[in-house]
Amino acid sequence: NELEMYYQPQIDAASGRIIGAEALMRWNHPVRGLIMPAEFLPFAEESGLIVPISEWMIDTLCRDMAQWGTDGANPLTLSLNLSPHYLDHSKFFETMRNALERYDIGPGRIAVEITENICIRNPQYAIEQLRKLGQLGVSVAIDDFGTGYSSLAYLHRFPIQTIKIDQSFVQQISDEDGHYPVVLAIISISRGLNLDLVAEGVETEAQARYLRAHGCSTMQGFLFHRPMPLGGFVNVLNS
């Protein structure tokens, strides 16, 4: 019981409102302190432990969501990161469907984030997996867009709703009057394909203003909030 889910608010920068949160995993190690996912998830993937960890994650997230309190008209969405290994696992769809039912959560409130690398080996298979997610009623976002093997030949065929601009691109924005062609190109791709766009790793006002000026208004990053435990997130929602 040393794993814990943290939540990072996602903001509509035009209104300043919180519209959702991304769930990020932490390991509270009794001796080593807080361990970040990049440090332990690769071992979980290698050893197969990612399967029970992901099942725990899904149940915990759905249970936690019940405590967010719902503003009926505008329910917040939860983004969760899914390991490709677990997506391949036959139990994923059943686990997800059961958890949504058990905690009475509309699937429309869930966005699954996957990286574009799931599509390298077998794009046709990836498309099928994404379709199955769509059948569950959850939406799909491509995380870290532009850093992996994005195949523009396939992107328009993927049944996805959102792309997330990777923080490495956002962090290049140092001057709001500057010119950042990769960011602009990703914004154009999202428009052309009619996809929602989220910028992550937004740390400065200049970055937020540049992104907004060019048409990306959903953001997450330290400028707004750091990832935080459930209690802190609920406090922020109620403040």
| Residue ranges in contact with ligand C2E by CB under 6 A | 8, 23-25, 36-38, 41, 57, 81-83, 113, 143-144, 167, 200-203, 220-222, 227
**Judged by CB, which is closer to Mg ion: 64, or 144?**
144
Instruction: Show the tokens assigned to 183.
Output: 């960011």
* Binder among 76, 83, 84, 144 for Mg ion (CB under 5 A): 144
Choice between 197 and 202, CB closer to ligand C2E: 202
Instruction: State the binding partner of 201 from Mg ion, ligand C2E, none, CB within 5 to 8 A by kind.
Output: ligand C2E
Query: How far is C-alpha 18 from the geometric centre of its chain's CA atoms?
Result: 15
CA distance to 175, 205, 219, per residue, from 208 (Å): 11, 5, 8
Closest to ligand C2E by CB, 24 or 126: 24
227 binds, among Mg ion, ligand C2E, none (CB under 5 to 8 A by kind): ligand C2E
Q: How far apart are CA 50 and CA 3, in angstroms?
A: 12
101: β partners: none
Return the one option of Mg ion, ligand C2E, none that residue 116 interacts with (CB less than 5 to 8 A, by type). Answer: none
CB under 8 A, 24+ apart: contacts of 221-230: 221/167, 221/170, 224/9, 224/11, 225/8, 225/9, 225/11, 226/8, 227/6, 227/7, 227/8, 227/22, 227/24, 227/26, 228/6, 228/7, 228/8, 229/4, 229/6, 229/7, 230/5, 230/7, 230/64, 230/67
Is residue 116 a contact point for Mg ion (CB under 5 A)?
no
Q: How many of the other CB atoms lie within 10 Å of CB of 14?
A: 9
Of the candidate spans 51-59, 82-90, 142-150, 214-222, the one that interacts with Mg ion by CB under 5 A turns out to be 142-150
Q: Which does residue 138 touch among ligand C2E, Mg ion, none (CB within 5 to 8 A, set by kind)?
A: none
- Report the nearest approach of ligand C2E to the CB of residue 59 (Å): 12
Residue-by-residue DSSP string for 119-137:
GSS-HHHHHHHHHHHHHHT
Query: What is the H or E stretch that residue 141 is in?
Result: strand 139-145
The reply on whether position 64 binds Mg ion by CB under 5 A is no
Among 57, 99, 113, 233, binds Mg ion (CB under 5 A): 113
Query: How many C-beta atoms surround the C-beta of residue 122 within 10 A?
Result: 11
- The nearer residue to ligand C2E, 162 or 167, going by C-beta atoms, is 167
For the bound state, the minimum distance from the C-beta of residue 177 to Mg ion, rounded and expressed in Å, comes to 26
Cβ proximity of 149 and 119 under 8 Å: yes
- 129 contact choice in ligand C2E, Mg ion, none (CB below 5 to 8 Å, kind-dependent): none
Among 8, 81, 150, 190, binds Mg ion (CB under 5 A): 81
The least CB distance from residue 32 to Mg ion, in Å, is: 24
Binding interface with Mg ion (CB under 5 A): 81, 113, 143-144
